Amino acid sequence: MHAPGDPGAARSRPRLRRAGPGEDTVALAFVGDGATSEGDFHEALNFAAVFHLPVVFFVQNNQYAISVPVSRQTAAPSLAHKAVGYGMPGVLVDGNDAAAVLSVVGEAARRAREGEGPTLVEATTYRIDAHTNADDATRYRPDEEVTGWLGRDPVARLAAYLTNTGQLNVDVEAAVAAEAEDLAADLRTRLVAEVPPPPEELFAHVYHRPTQRLRDQAARLRAETGPDGS
């Protein structure tokens, strides 16, 4: 979800309670380092902190917003440090350490569920590939930097940890790979078989009560595409 939308979703939790189970609902907002330079991000943090909302803001800091390095985006010691200005905890974690991320996010979710308010988590990682196939990343970052981060592969690190603690062996790895392939094949089959939603659904669930502008846009779409959306 987007950062501005998640505090709103979290604030609607009393409605979820009236509709059914929802007491443990926590909104988790995933954003990149580049998004922290946007005004919406700061509005979302301020709103969540003021209203003490159950939100976890997860910043995946992959070091570059397309070609702009983090050093050109903030003067703060870290992106997590920004939390201080909003009166919420900020936690910096190695984003390539799956166990550490699980622990930090788990604690942030616990705080949210127990009414202790939002948390900002910054997970440091790296974008190994170019931003898009039209992006030449060699123009703004050295090969040595990429090589250094390749040695911190999170999948390899997790596998090494599980192997060293006796939780992973050749048989377990083969079983997990087979289960993952079956799951992926099943998802692909079901997605291909899904009927596309009607175009008018684009306007649903935007606001609790649709605005007049949205109603007008939906009406124009119906007039252009017909009742069946064709």
Catalytic residues: 127, 131, 140
Q: Which of 99, 97, 116, 13 is nearest to 56 (CA)?
A: 116
User: 3-state secondary structure string, 208-230?
Assistant: CCCCHHHHHHHHHHHHHHCCCCC
Is-contact 120 131, C-beta < 8 A?
Answer: no
Number of other CB atoms surrounding residue 152 within 10 Å: 15
Q: Compute CA 69 distance to the chain's CA centroid, rounded to the nearest angstrom.
A: 20
**C-alpha R_g of the chain:** 22
